């Protein structure tokens, strides 16, 4: 059971890395990327065909996420704390709404 779960999470991480890489490329014009690499525009698209294999390799090496410039990642325990606080706040809001509906 545990092994199947691991394979599934590795597959998810690989797809996530691939989507992140494609998003980064789509946020920057192909011409700009080509100029930065000093290659033709068509070369950039040809290189993206290799993304799936590259991301699977990166995933197998243990990389779980990319951080883009000016992007900040929260540690998992901070994220869990924020989610806990948000859920408690939503619970209180629901209780207040239900009390107001009773009147």
How far apart CA 23 and CA 101 sit, in angstroms, is 44
For the chain, give the mean pLDDT.
Answer: 81
Helix segments in the chain, DSSP class H: 2-27, 30-37, 41-48, 51-60, 76-102
Residues 32-36: what's their mean pLDDT? 87
How far apart CA 79 and CA 85 sit, in angstroms, is 10
User: Which pTM was predicted?
Assistant: 0.50
Residues 1-14: what's their mean pLDDT? 60
The confidence band for 102, taking pLDDT boundaries of 50, 70 and 90, is: low
How far apart CA 11 and CA 16 sit, in angstroms, is 9
- pLDDT score, position 79: 83
How far apart CA 59 and CA 16 sit, in angstroms, is 10
Q: Other CB atoms closer than 10 Å to residue 62's CB: what's the count? A: 8
Residues 21-49: what's their mean pLDDT? 84
43 pLDDT more than 90:
no
The confidence band for 84, taking pLDDT boundaries of 50, 70 and 90, is: very high
């Amino acid at each position: 059971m545990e092994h199947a779960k691991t394979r599934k999470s590795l597959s998810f991480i690989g797809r996530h890395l691939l989507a992140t890489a494609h998003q980064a490329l789509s946020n920057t014009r192909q011409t700009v990327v080509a100029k930065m690499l000093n290659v033709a525009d068509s070369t950039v698209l040809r290189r993206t065909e290799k993304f799936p294999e590259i991301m699977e390799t990166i995933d197998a090496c243990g990389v779980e996420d990319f951080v883009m410039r000016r992007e900040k990642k929260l540690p998992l325990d901070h994220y869990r704390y924020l989610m806990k606080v948000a859920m408690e706040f939503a619970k209180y809001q629901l209780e207040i709404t239900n009390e107001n509906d009773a009147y």
